[in-house]
Structure formats: structure tokens, C-alpha cells
Amino acid sequence: MSLSLRTWAMLALWLVLLLGATPSRAEDGYDLWLRYRLLAPEQTKLYQYRATELIAGSSTSTQSVTRSELQRGLEGLLGRALPLSENVTHDGAIIVGTPKSSALIARLHLDIQDLGHEGYVIRSVVVDGHAATAIVAQEDIGALYGAFHFLRLLQTGQAIDHLDLHETPCVKLRVLNHWDYLNGQVERGYAGASIWDWWKLPDWRTPRYTDYARANASIGINGTVLDNVNAGATILTPTYLQKVAALADVFRPYGIRVYLSIRFSAPIEIGGLKTADPLDPKVQAWWHAKADEIYQRIPDFGGFLVKANSEGQPGPEDYKRTHADGANMLADALAPHGGVVMWRAFVYSASNPEDRAKQAYDEFKPLDGRFHANVLVQVKNGPVDFQPREPFHPLFGAMRRTPLMTEFEITKEYLGFATHLVYLGPLFEEVLSADTMAHGKGSTVAKVIDGSLDGHALTGMAGVANIGTDRDWCGSDFNQANWYVFGRLAWNPSLSSRAIAEEWVRMTFSNNESFVRPVVEMMMGSREAAVDYMTPLGLVHLMGPGHHYGPAPWDASESRPDWRPVYYHRADRQGIGFDRSRSGSDAVDQYAAPLAAQFNDLKQTPEQYLLYFHHVGWDYRMRSGHTLWYELVAHYTQGVNDVKRMRETWRSLHGYIDEQRYEQTAAFLAIQEKEAQWWRDASIAYFQSVSGLPLPPGYAAPEQSLNYYESLSFPYVPGFSSW
Ligand code: GCV
């Protein structure tokens, strides 16, 4: 039987696919940035590198996971298993551990005094006449972080023959906040259901929990709040604490502590008390006993996160007490065990006629200095609510005597849910590098939260997780970058979001420069694109009611005025924007004097915040010389064009990565373009109906009528709890 050339070719292709030898083998994203695929040496600076043996202890659980991560990573990246050894016998040994765990490491006499609990050094050394790489820390957890760093160097193709790295985290508590309900729903979650399978815990601990811990440890995250800030009391019952303890056991080797969001009224709901008044001795005793019970089960429990007197949650103000009274009562219960309270400043009230953006500052600033030592106040990055762009929160720099954490939203509630490709690194960096001017120039938000500005040792950064049961964890491959960048910036808030994007692309997809460069560019521009097609020039909060999907600038259906888009944009025949200058709500004066003066002055206000601080005439001349109306239409259009360009970029990259991830991203970008166009058209149609102005020449009219956009309704939007 003779086979045709075509048949032979087909057979050969099948063979290649069968052996999985092709670099484009389908991937489902489960491995995140810890893929450890065989390195292509021509794409790296590793030509000379030859790892020969691994010297790593395993007498504690953290040492064991460090060793197995290195074995797994090195085998995957280098294509061969490395023998374990006790001593350095060849050039190319990798040594990991602490002087306490290894006599060999003690013998190196590396200067590690200033590393603290979590720091590490990675050094190229000579041991017994052989070149080696030493990953050394004071404590096991530092060595694990160092091991992940070393693997990252390999994964990103760095030269590793002359290493002298020294790393310590700038922020102490680097924490994910899961907005997960015990029934499996995730508020503002777009990646499936909750990964916590409460029903099967504590007996069944899915391997996913371990992979979750590995991913977090690889970027330095050391805490996780398991349940939603809109908390129920059930999580504090013995049945659930047992489940929480099981998760804590899985996470412990990876240096991750568990925290819980608590319901302030729990003493009533599960404690049988008549009150939750923080100054009532019975209430205090109940919380002390509850803390004792928790620590008995979970000796390294992190503490409580609290949303109180906000959006309907109970809190100390129900008893005419302050937020400080509430936080301190809980802090006192946790203090004997070393736990902390992360008390949220996200408060605003329907009955308060004051500008919503001012209310948190008004309430918390007077409490500065009144919180006990183990309380951090957790402040959202902006004064409204995680919008595509807001100025930084005025509490940063305003509460010198209180440790403030910043809270970012990693899940894209306001930035296109799962499907829009929006890399949040530039948003996080913009906030962290913002100068509060509170104590002179250079008083950045980063310095407030890393404690260096006011000498706080207790510091923290929180990110609302975008993690769910989707196979790829985050609802899309590119959403993984937002989890990644949060962790890296929490470790060091002065890293550049561009450098982090590059690292992530290399680890997640490829080291091929022709792929890396355009993808990093695309990511770096993606947040600005979303700002443009959703809320340009300082507009905020224009999304659909409740579910927050899509544009609805016309909407006034929400029960509370401060949940309605019309409250925020205030567009009328004359102009648009919220006047927060001294002639308006005077929110500007919550900022330090030089910034207040700048924001108060229409001409000096950065145009990216223009309509956040000012109500501006449609015919106001912008710096470009165009009118505001023209610029608004131009920005909306620019946003759509940017997404079109992102699609073109992605199309040009076909073949560089596996088909599965390529195709999903391509499909999601198509959704993004469609929705960007919808945002643009619906917004322009609405604002035009208010301004009565013709579209600037050359700009296309919206595809549909305003009536059409207003008629759209979305009863089954994910992530919204009132399904
Ligand atoms: C957890 C916004 C979100 C809510 C969230 C709230 C908060 O209002 O839409 O889903 O509730 O912020 O941060 O508490």
C-alpha cells in the first residue's frame, strides 16, 4: 500500500500533536504564571546556565513546599529533573534555606541581618570550589519567596550567573479580599462560583486550594479574607470555623494567614445577646470568647475585616458609638493573640445630603489617633468606588496617626467584567504614585501605605479578588495579570506596572520578543482605552443600575440618589460635571492645601479629573483648543478606536501561543469592541439629548437611538447578588 504525500504529512502532524511537542499545545490557563514550560534558550539570556543539583531541606512543611516547587519548576523549565544533594559537588548547584535549617548555608556567612521574617537574598557564590546559587533567608517563608523569585528569573529568561539580589517586602499585610458568600456566589465575581467549597469542607480539600496558595505565595500575598464584607454571622459558628481552620491548614506552609469578614451584629444573631453595642461589657466578653475560640482552632489567624454602617450593614453607629469604638472593641479581643482589625472607611449614608465623595473623610478624619495599635483603616483607592479613574482618596495623607491600608478592586466590576482586556497595573500605579502633598512634596500614597511617611510599622494593602471556579481562575487569561500585578505592587509599591506586565507576559505566554513587546504595549494602553469609552474626563459612576453592566448615564431608577448616574454627571443644557470646588460641595478642601488650590481652579485641574471637580460649560475651551463637547465625543471615539487597534495587534500575534488561549482572547476582544462601541454610542446619544449640540464634524452618529439604549435591560448579570 502506498501512501500519498498528503497522508504522510497528516500522519506526521498527528504524531507531533500526540507527543505534545509543539509549543502551541492547547492551554486552559489553569497554571497561571507558574507554567514552567521548557525554556527556549534562544529567547533567553540563559545560554551558559547549567543547573546541576538541588540542596534543599524538607524538615518543615514550608521547606517541603519550597523544595517541591523548585523541583517542579526546574524540571519543567530545564527539561530534566535535578538530583537532590547534601553538599555542593558540581558547578551549578542551587542551595535554598536558612542558616537555622542548613549547616551548609550557615557556613556561607551571608549578611542577612536586615531581612526580617519574609526577606531573602539570592547570591551567586562559590562553595567548596564550585559555583552555586544560594537562596537564603532568616525564616523558611523568606526562602520560599526567594525560590519563587529565582524561578521567575529563569521563566523570564534573565541572566543568572552573577546574582546579588536582596529583597524585603515594603508592606506587611498583603491581602486578598474575597467577596464570596457561603452559598457559593461571588459578589462582583465574573469567574464562576466561589472557590471555597464550604459544603465539602473540612473533609475535602481540593488540590485547587494548594494551587491557590502557590500562586499567592509566588507573588508575596500573605493573607486572604475568605468571606464577603457584606458578611453573615454564620462564618463565626463552630461548624464554619472548622472549615476555615481546614483552609488555614492548607495555606500555612505558604505563609498565608486567613482572616474573616465579620458581621458587627453577630453577638445578637448567633450569641443570643440583645445588643451589639461595642461599649456593652457582655458584647465585649462575647467577642473575646469568640476570638479565643478562633485562635484555639487557628493559632495564626490574621484577624477581622469589617464593613460597618455602610450600605445597610450594622455597625457601632447603630448604638451612637463611633467607628473607633467599634474597631477598638474587636481589636482588644484579637490583641492577646496578635490579630488585627482592618476597618473599612467605605462609608456613606443615604440620609446624609453631603456629597457622597466627602463622607468617608468627614467621618474618619476626626477619629485619627483614636484607634488602638492593632487597627488599620482600609481605604478604597478613590473617594467614590473603584471607578475606571478617580483622584486618590483624600484620607491618604490626612490621618497621620492611623495606619491606612489601600483597597484596590482586582475584579473588574466597573471595568468590563471578565471579557474586557483591561490591565489594572497603570491604575494601581497612578494611585500609588499620586502625591498627597500632605507633608510636603513627595508624600505619595505609596509612602502612606508602606508606613514610611509617618513611621507606621503595621502596614497593608488589600485587593478584592477576581478569583472563581473558572478553569483559568479569573474569567480570562489577561485578568490573571491583575491578580499578579496586585501582589507584586503590594510587595513593592514602587515597582513599575510596565515592568510587571512584561514579567507576566513572559511567564504566562512567551519570551519571544516579537510577542512580548506588542502585548505589553497593548496592556499598558488598555486601561486608558476603557476610561475613554466609559467615563472620560473625570466622569464617574455611569454604569447600569445595581448590576453595573454597560452604560446608563440616564438612569435615575435606583432607590438612593447617590447610586444614580445622574447624581454624578449632573449634565444639563449648560454643561456637565459635579462641582466639587469651593463654590460647590468643596470636596477639594479635603486635599492638602496645594492640591486643594489646584483642584479648585478649573484652569489648573488636570483634564483627566475635570468633570470630577467641576461643572463645565459644553463650550468650555479645553487645552487642545477644542470645546468640551468636542473633546468628550473625541475621547469616547478614541476609546473605541483603541480597542480596534488592540484587536489588530492580537490578530498579528496569531501563532505565537497556543490556539486555545489565542482564540479566547480574540473572542473576548471582539466582545470588548462591541461593548466599547455601545458605551460610546449610548453615552453620546444621551449627552447629546441633554446638550442639544450637533456632533463635531467627522464623528459618526450613534448606531441606535437613545430610546433603544435606554430600553435595554439585563436581568441575569453575573456578580450581582439580587438574582
Ligand atoms: C461588597 C460597591 C459594590 C458592592 C460592594 C461595595 C463595598 O458598592 O458595588 O458590591 O459590596 O462596593 O465595597 O462594600
Query: Using CA positions, which residue lies closest to atom 13 of ligand 1?
Result: 346
* pLDDT of the residue at 313: 97
CA of 302 to the centre of ligand 1 (A): 22
Please state the rounded mean pLDDT for residues 616-642: 98
CA of 468 to the centre of ligand 1 (A): 18
**In whole angstroms, what is the distance from residue 661 CA to residue 606 CA?**
39
Checking if the pLDDT of 585 tops 80, the result is yes
CA of 718 to the centre of ligand 1 (A): 14
With a 6 Å cutoff on the Cβ, whether 231 touches ligand 1 is no
Q: What is the DSSP letter of 520?
A: H
Checking if the pLDDT of 9 tops 90, the result is no
Neighbours of 160 (CB within 10 A): 20
Checking if the pLDDT of 723 tops 50, the result is no
Give the domain-ending residue among 167, 189, 224. 167
- The CATH number of whichever domain residue 34 belongs to comes to 3.30.379.10
Residues 158 and 191 in one domain: no
Q: Which of 178, 179, 464 gets mutated to test ligand 1 (max ligand atoms within 8 A of its CB)?
A: 179
With a 6 Å cutoff on the Cβ, whether 409 touches ligand 1 is no
User: What cell was used for 314?
Assistant: 450594622
Residues 475 and 540 in one domain: no
Instruction: Give the H/E segment covering residue 269.
Output: helix 266-269
Q: Which of 413, 503, 673, 681 is catalytic?
A: 413
Residues 372 and 435 in one domain: yes
CA of 307 to the centre of ligand 1 (A): 10
Q: What is the pLDDT of residues 229-266, one digit of tens each?
A: 999 999 999 999 999 999 999 999 999 999 999 999 99
Q: Phi/psi of residue 147, each to 5°?
A: -65, -45
Amino acid (one-letter) located at 404: L
Q: With bands split at pLDDT 50, 70 and 90, how would you rate the model's confidence at 159?
A: confident
User: What cell was used for 124?
Assistant: 551567586
Are the CB atoms for 163 and 120 separated by under 8 Å? Answer: no
User: Helix axis angle, 238-251 relative to 281-297, nearest 10°?
Assistant: 40
- The minimum-distance atom of ligand 1 relative to the CA of 464 is 13
Report yes or no on 292 lying in a domain.
no
User: Is 28 an active-site residue?
Assistant: no
For 87, the domain range is: 25-167
CA 261-262-267 angle, 5° bins: 170
Looking at the DSSP bridge assignments, the partners of residue 343 are 306, 377
Residues 134 and 237 in one domain: no
With a 6 Å cutoff on the Cβ, whether 179 touches ligand 1 is yes
Q: Which alpha helices (DSSP H) does 161-206 contain, by range?
A: none
Q: In which residue are the cell numbers 514552567 written? A: 36
Residues 493 and 544 in one domain: no
* pLDDT of the residue at 19: 40
Q: Count Cα atoms within 13 angstroms, Cβ side, for 82.
A: 27
Q: With bands split at pLDDT 50, 70 and 90, how would you rate the model's confidence at 48?
A: low
Checking if the pLDDT of 714 tops 60, the result is yes
Checking if the pLDDT of 11 tops 60, the result is no
* pLDDT of the residue at 42: 75
Instruction: Give the H/E segment covering residue 526.
Output: helix 513-534
Cα-based distances in Å from 407 to 177, 239, 305:
9, 30, 12
* pLDDT of the residue at 4: 53
Q: What do you get for the CA distance between the two ends of the chain, in Å?
A: 63
Report yes or no on 8 lying in a domain.
no
Checking if the pLDDT of 3 tops 60, the result is no
- The CATH number of whichever domain residue 431 belongs to comes to 3.20.20.80
Dihedral of the alpha carbons of 492, 495, 498, 501, in degrees to the nearest 10: -30
With a 6 Å cutoff on the Cβ, whether 230 touches ligand 1 is yes
Amino acid (one-letter) located at 233: A
**In whole angstroms, what is the distance from residue 391 CA to residue 43 CA?**
40
Residues 106 and 158 in one domain: yes
User: Is 269 an active-site residue?
Assistant: no
Give the domain-ending residue among 119, 149, 167. 167
Q: With bands split at pLDDT 50, 70 and 90, how would you rate the model's confidence at 12?
A: very low
* pLDDT of the residue at 24: 62
* pLDDT of the residue at 336: 98
With a 6 Å cutoff on the Cβ, whether 178 touches ligand 1 is no
Region of 468 (left: φ > 0; alpha: ψ -120 to 50; beta: rest) is beta
Q: Which of 306, 311, 409 gets mutated to test ligand 1 (max ligand atoms within 8 A of its CB)?
A: 311
Q: Which of 311, 354, 362, 658 is catalytic?
A: 311
> How many domains are contained in the chain?
3
* pLDDT of the residue at 69: 98
Looking at the DSSP bridge assignments, the partners of residue 380 are 407
Query: Using CA positions, which residue lies closest to atom 11 of ligand 1?
Result: 230
Q: Which alpha helices (DSSP H) does 41-126 contain, by range?
A: 61-78, 103-108
Report yes or no on 662 lying in a domain.
yes
User: Is 385 an active-site residue?
Assistant: yes
The sign of the dihedral angle between the CA atoms of 183, 208, 463, 715 is: negative
* pLDDT of the residue at 22: 44
Are the CB atoms for 598 and 614 separated by under 8 Å? Answer: no
Are the CB atoms for 211 and 250 separated by under 8 Å? Answer: no
CA of 620 to the centre of ligand 1 (A): 35
Are the CB atoms for 353 and 359 separated by under 8 Å? Answer: no
Question: What's the longest Cα–Cα distance across the chain?
Answer: 92
Give the domain-ending residue among 141, 167, 193. 167
Residues 458 and 546 in one domain: no
**Average pLDDT, whole number, for the chain?**
95
Helix (H, G, I), strand (E, B) or coil at 133: strand
User: Where are any strands of DSSP class E within 98-245?
Assistant: 120-127, 130-136, 164-167, 173-177, 223-225
Find the length of the chain: 723
Are the CB atoms for 341 and 374 separated by under 8 Å? Answer: yes
Residues 153 and 264 in one domain: no
- The CATH number of whichever domain residue 560 belongs to comes to 3.90.1330.10
CA of 231 to the centre of ligand 1 (A): 12
Checking if the pLDDT of 457 tops 70, the result is yes
Please state the rounded mean pLDDT for residues 167-174: 98
**In whole angstroms, what is the distance from residue 603 CA to residue 607 CA?**
9
Q: What is the pLDDT of residues 357-391, one digit of tens each?
A: 999 999 999 999 999 999 999 999 999 999 999 99
With a 6 Å cutoff on the Cβ, whether 31 touches ligand 1 is no
- The minimum-distance atom of ligand 1 relative to the CA of 307 is 14
Residues 203 and 145 in one domain: no
Residues 373 and 433 in one domain: yes
Are the CB atoms for 117 and 139 separated by under 8 Å? Answer: yes
Report yes or no on 515 lying in a domain.
no
Helix (H, G, I), strand (E, B) or coil at 127: strand
User: Helix axis angle, 140-155 relative to 61-78, nearest 10°?
Assistant: 10
Residues 621 and 637 in one domain: yes
CA of 84 to the centre of ligand 1 (A): 49
Residues 557 and 450 in one domain: no
With a 6 Å cutoff on the Cβ, whether 385 touches ligand 1 is yes
Region of 432 (left: φ > 0; alpha: ψ -120 to 50; beta: rest) is alpha
